[in-house]
Amino acid sequence: MNKIEHIGIAVNSLKSAGNIYEKLLNTQVYKTEEVASEGVKTAFLQNGPNKIELLEASNPDSPIAKFIAKKGEGIHHVAFDVDDIEAEMLRLKNEGFVLLNDVPKRGADNKLVCFVHPKSANGVLIELCQERG
Ligand code: ZN
């Protein structure tokens, strides 16, 4: 586990949240990307080492739509940068964490990702992410 790579925030509207976070961080959204397999549209902002991923549901069955229906907008996950996602997945599995996918999958922003069930981590959804070569 290296540094926190980004914090994911579930929002109703990428456009309005993008405007707010642009003002907050005093920077522009540098990338928007849809991950159809996950039912999300994402927007990224970065200021120095701090990176925020805004997530909007792209369909009513999206995990983001379900999250917002249950908890409202807010912090959705914390993502950690890892060098070797498969080794890290194996290590966490051996430590008793519940992983939400068995093999790394393709995430937004050119990453391989794996999620750790929030029940394993005191209510926080954890994302492991490794830069794709
Ligand atoms: Zn993320």
Q: Which of 8-12, 27-31, 33-37 is least confident?
A: 33-37
Cα of 77 to ligand 1 centre, how many Å? 7
Average pLDDT over residues 109-120: 94
| Strand 4-10 to 74-81 pairing | antiparallel
CA of 3 to the centre of ligand 1 (A): 14
pLDDT range class, residue 100, cuts 50, 70, 90: very high
Q: State the average pLDDT over residues 82-90.
A: 97
Q: Find the 39 Cα to ligand 1 centroid distance in Å.
A: 13
pLDDT value for 29: 97
- Going from the Cα of 67 to the center of ligand 1, the distance in angstroms, rounded, reads 14
Residue 112 has pLDDT above 80, yes or no: yes
d(C-alpha 59, C-alpha 35), whole Å: 11
The residues with which 80 forms a beta bridge, in sequence order, are 4, 128
- For residues 70-99, give the mean pLDDT: 97
CA of 94 to the centre of ligand 1 (A): 23
Q: For residues 54 and 47, give the distance between their C-alpha atoms in angstroms, rounded to a whole number.
A: 14
Cα-to-centroid distance, 95 and ligand 1 (Å)? 22
Quote the Cα angle for 126-81-84, to 5°. 105
The model's confidence at residue 25, banded by pLDDT at 50, 70 and 90, is: very high
pLDDT at 133 over 80: no
Residue 100 Cα, ligand 1 centroid: separation in angstroms? 14
111 neighbors 132 (Cβ within 8 angstroms): yes
